Structure 1
Amino acid sequence: MNYETARKFLIAQTKPTEKNPDGLLMYMQRGKPPIPGQITSILLALKSVYGELQDAPTLDKELVCALYTLSIKTQQLFTAGQKAGVEWPPLFKEDLLRIMIAVENIFFGKRQTSQS
């Protein structure tokens, strides 16, 4: 996945577009799990963005907003869903942690693991 495709895909996961009305955030707001392959696609897009921007001195605001939302808002929706009785898929919490770590990598320009 090239950078521009990855960028557009990540932004679409946080706000609906004509081509992608069902991004991750919209699913989670409805108390629904991600569609099969959605998390994998998000992680691949994050890897592409990281590869392109790891040494960039600045990031564009629309992308930063999407990254922040994928990192923080999904965690909040997960917790709220749990409290409301939503049964999220097994390992979904870990998937969201991987997304958060990938976003941190982009923001800080370095590779981190869940142990860092």
Structure 2
Amino acid sequence: MDFQTACQELMQQTLPRHETRDTFLGRLRRGHPPVPGQVTTLLIALKLIHSELHSAEQLDRALAQSLFLVAYEGRNLFESARAAGADLPPLLDDDLARIAIAAYKIFANEPVTADDNT
């Protein structure tokens, strides 16, 4: 996966204009767990985006929106689904924490460490 593909993957999984029943946020919105491999693909994309943007002065608006949505909206949808009694995998909570850390580190221009598990 290259930088452009990583950005496209993140945007297709998170931006409202691309949302379907099978996108990451679309599934969470319906109270369903991600498709197998979806979280891994997002984490790889976030790692590649972080690597490419480590010295960037600014971010593309659509990319910034995607980063926000995957971290913030992903967590909110998970918590809402869990409160409604949805059957979500227990590790999804940890996965969402890793996604949020990865998104934060892109915004903050902080290095990714082994502790981040991304």
Instruction: State the TM-score, normalizing by the size of structure 1.
Output: 0.90
Aligned length: 112
Structural RMSD (CA): 1.4
1:98 aligns with 2:79: no
Partner SS for 1:100: helix
SS in structure 2 opposite 1:63? helix
Name 1:38's counterpart in structure 2. Answer: 38
- 1:15-52 Cα shifts (integer Å, max 9, x gaps): 354xx842100000111000001000000000000000
Deviations 1:31-77 (A, max 9, x none): 10000010000000000000000110000000000000000001101
Matches within 5 A, 1:20-31: 21=20, 22-31=22-31
Q: Which ranges in structure 1 are unaligned for 5 or more consecutive residues?
A: none
Name the structure with the higher helix share. 2
Alpha-carbon offset, residue 87 of structure 1: 1.6
- Percent of aligned positions with the same letter in both sequences? 38
Unaligned runs of 5+ in 2: none
- 1:64 counterpart residue number: 64
What does 1:71-110 correspond to in 2, within 5 Å?
71-110=71-110
Please identify runs of 4+ aligned residues in structure 1 that moved more than 4 A.
none
Describe the SS at the equivalent of 1:13.
Answer: helix
- State the TM-score, normalizing by the size of structure 2: 0.89
Paired AA for residue 110 in structure 1: E
One-letter amino acid of the structure 2 residue matched with residue 85 of structure 1: G
Distance of 2:104 and 2:93 partners within structure 1? 17
